[in-house]
Structure 1
Amino acid sequence: MIGVRRFAQWGLWFGGALVLLAAVLIGIDVLMRKFLARSIGGADELAGYSLAIGTTWGLGAALLDRAHIRIDSLYVLFPQKLRLALDLLALVLFTAFFALTLWHGLGVVGQSWTSESRSQSALETPTIIPQFLWIAGLVAFVGIAIVIIVQSLRLALAGDLNGMAQLISTRSAEEEVEDEIRDLKGRQDREGSA
């Protein structure tokens, strides 16, 4: 799982960098329009590509960190085995949805490749480039999700319900507080050593 986490973290940084670059590009474009009455042509198109690609590349890390949003009002009242069964079902359905999206996305990418499609903007971007990066992010996410499903099933068969819960369940308030305290201590240590 360490290799999977490292790969997901790399994807998260890649996706985050794309979104940050898109924000900078949009900011520059807005300033240019305001003060120079000029525009960077295609900034909105590039930002759209960045958002789509960045999102898919961040999904795996969010899944590993259990950061996807869930509504758990009643969930916390259920016994642990029922919660874990619901968590596993949710993970399987979540993965199936993105696998279906991936399947249909591959058809779109294939069509763009064979027809040599280009965007209809002034940039005339070959659509295969952003689509390929987007689909690669989906492949990475579905792969990570399958690894997590297999690992959670192994933990379930071994009777390690706590390990399974730490892998696929929603984060408890205690876990979130512990993470915040750990982050705070890390920041204090870095500031103290500087």
Structure 2
Amino acid sequence: MNKNAIQNSIALVVSHLERLVHFGVWVNGAALILVAFMIGFDVIARKMFNVSVGGADEIGGYFLAISSAWAASFTLFKHNHIRMDVVHARLPERGQRLLDLLALLALFAFVGTVAWYANEMWMKSFSFGSRANTPLLTPLWIPQGLWLIGLAMFLVTTTAAIVATIGVMCGVTSPELTRLAIKKSPEDDVRDQIRELEAHPADSSDRTR
């Protein structure tokens, strides 16, 4: 398999993975909005009619954990995880890619450990039929399983970022790999925003009103 074939294969996998992550984020975002309405309705019903739909806070807690796991993958694609780049910004490109790789490997080790124990917890809950100690008596394997899927997706996304970074370091480049592997510097972000404002001056004037 030649270099172009490898490049195209990796780019295709990364592109499909990004679409899947975006779909998961939209689904979880919609679920969080529904939960917010449920909690709001529950608060109003308790205050005005002294009744409660019950379990709104419990369901909200489940979806907060599930959506956070999926959002972690989306955030990795957007390079929005918090990190200190004082040294990173002062290194040559090769050194920056090396630090990126080390950071991703550390992230992989952390997420892999969390996913490992989450899987053990899910297997125990499923085997014993554990239920939440709440009025809903929720089978715990359901929210734990959805959370585990989100963690697994984060682990896969981290693996893809590692592969993309190694590929870029080895000269295997494509828009998909570059977007996932290379984080723009703050100066690049400022320049992009300036170009956007210059391209859409009407939009920028609306935002400043």
Q: What band does the TM-score fall into relative to the shorter chain?
A: 0.7 to 0.9
Alignment counterpart, residue 34 of structure 1, candidates 30, 47, 61: 47
Distance in 2, Cα, partners of 1:140 & 1:163: 18
Cα–Cα, structure 1 residues 60 and 124, in superposed 2: closer, same or farther, change >3 Å? same
Equivalent in the alignment of 2:144: 131
Once the two structures are overlaid, the 10-residue window that deviates more, 150-159 or 50-59, is 150-159
Q: Which amino acid aligns with 1:23?
A: A
Q: CA deviation at 1:13?
A: 0.9
Shift of 1:114: 0.7
Distance, in Å, in 1 between the alignment partners of 2:29 and 2:73 is 13
Where do 1:13-52 residues align within 5 Å?
Answer: 13-52=26-65
Correspondence 1:79 to 2:87: no
Q: Which runs of 5+ in 2 are unaligned?
A: 1-13, 204-209
How far apart in 2 are the matches of 1:32 and 1:114? Answer: 38
**TM-score if structure 2 supplies the norm length?**
0.78
Question: Separation in 1 of the partners of 2:46 and 2:184?
Answer: 44
Deviations 1:115-156 (A, max 9, x none): 001111100011111111110111111112112211211221
Partner deviation per Cα, 1:47-103 (whole Å, 9 max, x = no partner): 000001111112212111112122223432233222221111111111211111000
Query: Deviation at 1:179?
Result: 6.2
Q: Counterpart in 2 of 1:191? A: none
Q: How far has the Cα of 1:2 moved from its partner? A: 1.3
Task: Give the aligned partner of residue 110 of structure 1.
Answer: 123
Please give the alpha-carbon distance, in whole angstroms, between the structure 2 residues aligned to 1:169 and 1:155: 9
Contact 1:57 1:141 in 2 (8 A): yes
Q: Aligned partners of 2:20 and 2:177: how far apart in 1?
A: 21
Aligned residues: 185
SS at match of 2:168: helix
| Matching of residue 144 in structure 1 with residue 144 in structure 2 | no
Q: Normalised by the size of structure 1, how large is the TM-score?
A: 0.84
Residues 179 and 34 of structure 1, relative CA distance in 2, 3 Å threshold: farther
Could you tell me the percent identity over the aligned residues?
Answer: 32
Please tell me whether the aligned partners of residues 84 and 164 of structure 1 are also in contact (alpha carbons under 8 angstroms).
no
Higher Rg of the two aligned structures: 2
In structure 1, the gaps of 5 or more residues are 189-194
| Paired residue secondary structure (1:70) | coil
Residue 192 of structure 1: aligned partner: none
Question: Residue 93 of structure 1 aligns to a residue in which SS?
Answer: helix
The CA distance in 2 between the partners of 1:123 and 1:26, in whole Å, is 15
Cα distance in 2 between the residues matched to 1:85 and 1:134 = 31
Q: Are residue 60 (structure 1) and residue 73 (structure 2) matched?
A: yes
Deviates more, 1:149-158 or 1:114-123: 149-158
